[in-house]
Amino acid sequence: MDLRLLSYFLMIFESGSISAAARQLHITQPSLSRQIRKLERDLGVVLFSHGAKATATAAAIAFVPIARDLISRAAQASATIKTMNHAEAIRLTIAGPPTTVADVIAPYIAAAGADGLLANIREVLPNAVYRELAEFRADFVVGSSPPPAHLEYVVIGYSPIWAQLPEDKKNVSKKEISLAEVSSYSIAIVDDNHNVRRIFDQAISEAGLSVNIAFETQSTQASQALAAANRAVCISSDDPRFNLHPLLIKIAGRKNPLSITLYCAWDPSHFAAEQIKATALALHEFYKSRN
């Protein structure tokens, strides 16, 4: 069975439409439709109803775990054979958001030395992290939203979400700021493809506050630059730039400041699950030693 067709099938199933799946796969919609019709002919069943939404049939729903298992086993077999043939140490690929890559993963690889197993990093948007596992582009991932139930995970740590302001006499002596005070400023923050934005919005909503999102950016550095220019307060989990002064955001009734939970997750059936778990625990210890 063509594993490529299985991956196409899963992408359509997970995205909910052929057009959305085609965009993510970087192929044309007619070409993807032809590939799925070929898979349906091979299987002798109809997987999706006709139309833009491509509603999954009962046969498709039943076939999903089978397709995932076939792809997983093929990937594990390939990786195992490659390791055996080349008689080399396991080399793992990890995926994570750019901020986590820059502040956590890359520094860990540098500190782990020659014996470290991490050999490659894939930078992805936070909302696409777990897709890297589903599509076998990474051996494990670091994400800021809870992993799907079928994955094993370790909590690496907690990354503060800062209110970053110019370092002037008014702010330099302060270490924290209340969420209510933050809401009185104009805000520069990334869009809702990022968990920083979703967590901040949820905190504002739960506190019954309103906020002026003056600048919605696709880059944390853009938000920080706007704050450095005295045009807004930057809300970010990134390390400060441009001499900005970071303040922990305190929420009334909560002991801990606003933060992101970092999860390191992997498929427990992965051929190198034991080594992945050991690396995840080492990543946790590394993160704890730096914070």
Contact 213, 189 (CB under 8 A): yes
Tens digit of pLDDT for each residue in 142-196? Answer: 998 889 888 999 999 998 999 999 876 566 678 899 999 999 999 999 988 788 8
Structure tokens at 133: 């596992």
Q: Does 218 lie in the same domain as 95?
A: no
Q: Does 131 lie in the same domain as 199?
A: no
pLDDT of residue 159: 86
Question: pLDDT tier at 135 (50, 70, 90 boundaries)?
Answer: confident
Compute the average pLDDT of residues 85-96.
Answer: 73
User: Quick check: 82 pLDDT over 60?
Assistant: no
User: Rounded distance, CA 1 to CA 235, Å?
Assistant: 49
Contact 233, 185 (CB under 8 A): yes
List the single range of 52-56, 158-162, 233-237, 280-284 with lowest mean pLDDT.
Answer: 52-56
Alpha helices in 128-233 (DSSP H): 129-134, 179-182, 195-206, 220-228
Compute the average pLDDT of residues 68-73.
Answer: 79
Residue 38 belongs to what domain range?
Answer: 3-83
pLDDT of residue 179: 93
- CATH for 226: 3.40.190.290
Structure tokens at 271: 């051929």
Q: Does 283 lie in the same domain as 144?
A: yes
Q: Does 189 lie in the same domain as 103?
A: no
- CATH for 267: 3.40.190.10
pLDDT of residue 87: 42
Tens digit of pLDDT for each residue in 98-123? Answer: 888 988 999 999 998 888 888 899 99
Q: What sign has the CA pseudo-torsion 94, 97, 98, 103? A: negative
Where is the domain boundary, 83, 116, 148?
83
Q: Does 141 lie in the same domain as 264?
A: yes
Q: Does 265 lie in the same domain as 125?
A: yes
Question: pLDDT tier at 2 (50, 70, 90 boundaries)?
Answer: confident
User: Rounded distance, CA 153 to CA 161, Å?
Assistant: 22
What percent of the chain has a predicted confidence (pLDDT) above 70? 92
Structure tokens at 272: 């190198």
The most confident of the ranges 11-15, 221-225, 268-272 is 221-225
List the single range of 77-91, 113-127, 260-274 with lowest mean pLDDT.
Answer: 77-91
- CATH for 63: 1.10.10.10
Where is the domain boundary, 83, 116, 146?
83
Q: Does 283 lie in the same domain as 142?
A: yes
Where is the domain boundary, 83, 106, 121?
83
Q: Does 145 lie in the same domain as 11?
A: no
User: Quick check: 88 pLDDT over 80?
Assistant: no
Residues in the chain: 291
Structure tokens at 251: 């929420």
User: Quick check: 84 pLDDT over 60?
Assistant: no
Q: Does 267 lie in the same domain as 127?
A: yes
Tens digit of pLDDT for each residue in 267-283? Answer: 998 888 889 999 999 99
Q: Does 248 lie in the same domain as 111?
A: no
pLDDT of residue 221: 92
Q: Does 167 lie in the same domain as 152?
A: no
How far is residue 128 from each of residues 31, 96, 148, 181, measured CA to CA in Å? 24, 9, 13, 32
User: Quick check: 58 pLDDT over 70?
Assistant: yes
How many domains is the chain partitioned into structurally? 3
Compute the average pLDDT of residues 33-43.
Answer: 87
Beta-carbon-side half-sphere exposure of residue 89 (alpha carbons within 13 Å): 10
Q: What phi-psi label fits residue 134: left (phi over 0), alpha (psi between -120 and 50 degrees) or beta? A: alpha
Q: What phi-psi label fits residue 250: left (phi over 0), alpha (psi between -120 and 50 degrees) or beta? A: beta
- Where is pLDDT greater, at 110 or 79? 110
Listed residue (131, 133, 127, 151) closest to 92, CA to CA: 133
pLDDT of residue 86: 45
Is 138 exposed, middle or buried, given 0-12, 13-18 or 19+ CB atoms closer than 10 A? buried
Full-prediction pTM beyond 0.85? Answer: no
User: Rounded distance, CA 97 to CA 142, Å?
Assistant: 8
Q: Are strands 212-217 and 186-190 parallel, antiparallel or unpaired?
A: parallel
Q: Does 176 lie in the same domain as 249?
A: yes
Compute the average pLDDT of residues 261-267.
Answer: 93
